[in-house]
């Protein structure tokens, strides 16, 4: 790939109202897995099981954000980042998933919110970033239709305690990833497998997204309410009709299945026939209850996928050809570095009727080296710059995009990858919890100044 000259990048080119931020998630940073009355989440249980996480890593301490939050908030300030996205751990607020409320959890998030506001940083809360209370998983988790009311109950508590100060909310993070990895493939918590678990979880999560958003709207009428979707630019491996059809099915699964019902378009069953099985779980009024008019949609894009037809892969009849097999530059996650994906995704999602689009995650994992107190992560710096350039290109072409949040503030616990995949603007030594701002962080700081 030719290097793009991004030296001309300037914040003002994005407009005065463009939102700049950084994103995190509770389980990936907090640690303090049982502090102050917190209950277990499905990720606490999953990480304690042998062989689930690379190198046997766990998140008992993670980045110790629970205790060192003030230091990290000071760092956000130092980096001139005006918006901080973090998630609330449901089992900290409600250890068993439903009432009673744990005051220890409420106190903790109050401290975070107050500290952010005191520093002039706007809090953006994600209500669900994958850490379902384990007690609810025992009852079937997202495969149980009652999950919709469990979730609404939890959302109401968060709105009640934090809604006086927090304006910006995201209901659910990347439903397609946690249902696909956690309920179909079994490689993420809770480790369930199979099409039945997957489709049930899909439908209940989609219902819960709309139900949670409505709850927020009722309880905090002036809230800025969004939800986030993972998305990826899809290309066929060849121009053969089979590969083109396969690419269309993968595009339907990864980019359309979760957002279209929310937008009032129903599930895209015609383009992905396996979704017809959802009809077993869709009750009479459901289709009317799936839609919600969000103030913004958060898109999270990291790469593109190249797709080949394959009769061997059930339900989807398609295979993703990895970056390694294609011999292209990739990150530590094995994800191809392909900045134009962001442009294509923005173009695609602009064809929907969406009020505002914010890129709520984008970033890269590379093997960073701490040397003489410095981390020269030039690849990450370029990754971010090149993606910002694609945003500018999209804006020039008239596509709506209102903000950009980097994933992530610090290196953290990257789910099944453990601590190997480092995404931070700030390096973490996980033995000492020492933070070091990387070159990418320093560049972002100067860019935002």
Which residues are designated catalytic?
Answer: 174, 361
Q: Note whether 407 binds ligand FCB by CB under 6 A.
A: yes
Residue 230 interacts with ligand FCB (CB under 6 A): yes or no: yes
Q: Which residue has the tokens 């996480």?
A: 53
Of 205 and 278, CB closest to ligand FCB:
205
Q: CA–CA separation, 258 vs 53, rounded Å?
A: 27
Give min distance, CB of 181 to ligand FCB, in A.
9
Residue 423 interacts with ligand FCB (CB under 6 A): yes or no: yes
Distance CA(379)–CA(332), nearest Å, equals 11
Residue 231, C-beta contacts closer than 8 angstroms, at least 6 positions apart = 254, 255, 299, 300, 301, 345, 348, 349
The answer to whether the CB of 317 falls within 8 A of the CB of 248 is no
Instruction: Note whether 109 binds ligand FCB by CB under 6 A.
Output: no
For position 25 contacting ligand FCB by CB under 6 A, the verdict is yes
Q: Quick one: which segment of 173-181, 206-214, 304-312, 426-434 binds ligand FCB (CB under 6 A)?
A: 173-181
* Gap between the terminal Cα atoms of the chain: 30
- Residue placing its CB nearer to ligand FCB in the complex, 278 or 426: 426
Strand ranges (E), 284-430: 296-300, 304-309, 318-321, 357-361, 370-371, 374-375, 403-407, 426-429
Site stretch for ligand FCB (CB under 6 A), options 32-40, 249-257, 407-415, 428-436: 407-415
**Eight-state DSSP code of residue 241:** H
Contact 20, 391 (CB under 8 A): no
Residue 69 neighbours by CB under 8 Å, 6+ apart: 111, 112, 115
Please identify which residue in 86, 345, 414, 419 interacts with ligand FCB, judged by CB under 6 A.
Answer: 414
Number of residues near ligand FCB (by CB under 6 A): 12
- Which of 44-52, 99-107, 170-178, 205-213 is the region at the interface with ligand FCB (rule: CB under 6 A)? 170-178
Dist. CA 310–CA 316, nearest whole Å: 8
Q: Which of residues 343-372 bind ligand FCB (CB under 6 A)?
A: 361
Which of 21/236 has CB closer to ligand FCB? 21
Cα 183 to the chain's mean position, in Å? 17
What size, in residues, is the chain?
449
Residue 174 in the binding site for ligand FCB (CB under 6 A): yes
DSSP secondary structure code for residue 276 in this structure:
G
Q: With binding defined as CB under 6 A, does residue 255 bind ligand FCB?
A: no
- Applying CB under 6 A, does 46 fall inside the site for ligand FCB? no
Shortest Cβ distance from residue 41 to ligand FCB (Å)?
14
Q: Which is nearer to ligand FCB, 237 or 302 (CB)?
A: 302
- Of residues 300-319, those binding ligand FCB (CB under 6 A): 300
Query: Judged by CB, which is closer to ligand FCB: 173, or 209?
Result: 173
By CB under 6 A, the residues from 323 to 342 that bind ligand FCB are none
Q: What angle do CA 303, 307, 309 make, to 5 degrees?
A: 165
| Calpha distance 388→210 (Å, rounded) | 31
Strands of 101-223 (E only): list them.
122-128, 168-172
Given the complex with ligand FCB, which of 28 and 227 has the nearer CB atom? 28
Among 83, 102, 143, 173, binds ligand FCB (CB under 6 A): 173
- Under the binding rule (CB under 6 A), the answer on residue 411 touching ligand FCB is no
Identified binder of ligand FCB from the candidate list 177, 185, 187, 313, rule CB under 6 A: 177
Under the rule (CB under 6 A), what is the footprint of ligand FCB? Answer: 25, 28, 173-174, 177, 230, 300, 361, 407, 414-415, 423
């Amino acid at each position: 790939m030719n290097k793009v000259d991004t030296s001309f990048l300037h914040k003002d080119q994005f407009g005065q109202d463009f939102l700049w931020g950084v994103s995190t998630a509770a389980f990936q940073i907090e640690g303090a897995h049982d502090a102050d009355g917190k209950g277990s989440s499905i990720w606490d249980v999953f990480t304690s099981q042998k062989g689930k996480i690379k190198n046997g890593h766990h998140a008992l301490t993670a980045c110790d954000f629970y205790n060192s939050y003030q230091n990290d908030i000071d760092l956000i300030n130092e980096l001139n980042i005006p918006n901080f996205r973090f998630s609330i751990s449901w089992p900290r607020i409600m250890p068993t998933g439903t009432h009673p409320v744990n005051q220890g959890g409420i106190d903790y998030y109050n401290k975070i919110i107050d500290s952010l506001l005191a520093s002039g940083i706007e809090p953006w809360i994600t209500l669900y970033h994958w850490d379902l209370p384990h007690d609810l998983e025992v009852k079937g988790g997202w495969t149980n239709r009652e999950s919709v009311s469990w979730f609404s109950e939890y959302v109401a508590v968060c709105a009640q305690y934090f809604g006086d100060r927090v304006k910006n909310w995201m209901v659910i993070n990347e439903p397609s990833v946690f249902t696909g990895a956690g309920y179909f493939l079994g490689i993420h918590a809770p480790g369930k497998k199979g099409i039945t678990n997957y489709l049930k979880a899909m439908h209940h999560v989609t219902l819960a997204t709309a139900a949670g958003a409505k709850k927020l709207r009722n309880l905090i009428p002036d809230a800025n309410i969004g939800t986030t979707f993972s998305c990826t630019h899809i290309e066929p491996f060849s121009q053969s009709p089979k590969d083109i059809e396969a690419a269309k099915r993968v595009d339907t699964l990864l980019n359309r299945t979760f957002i279209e019902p929310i937008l009032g378009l129903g599930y895209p069953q015609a383009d992905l026939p396996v979704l017809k099985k959802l009809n077993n779980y869709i009750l009479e009024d459901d289709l009317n209850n799936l839609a919600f008019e969000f103030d913004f949609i958060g898109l999270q894009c990291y790469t593109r996928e190249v797709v080949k037809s394959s009769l061997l892969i059930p339900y989807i009849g398609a295979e993703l050809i990895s970056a390694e097999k294609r011999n292209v530059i990739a990150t530590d996650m094995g994800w191809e570095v392909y900045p134009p994906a962001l442009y294509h995704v923005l173009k695609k999602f602009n064809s929907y009727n969406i009020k505002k689009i914010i890129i709520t995650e984008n970033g890269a994992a590379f093997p960073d080296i701490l040397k003489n107190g410095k981390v020269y992560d030039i690849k990450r710096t370029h990754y971010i710059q090149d993606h910002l350039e694609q945003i500018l290109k999209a804006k020039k072409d008239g596509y709506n995009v209102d903000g950009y949040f980097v994933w992530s503030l610090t290196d953290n616990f990257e789910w099944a990858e453990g601590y190997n995949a480092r995404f931070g603007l700030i390096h973490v030594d996980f033995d000492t919890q020492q933070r070091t701002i990387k070159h990418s962080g320093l560049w972002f700081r100067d860019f935002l100044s």
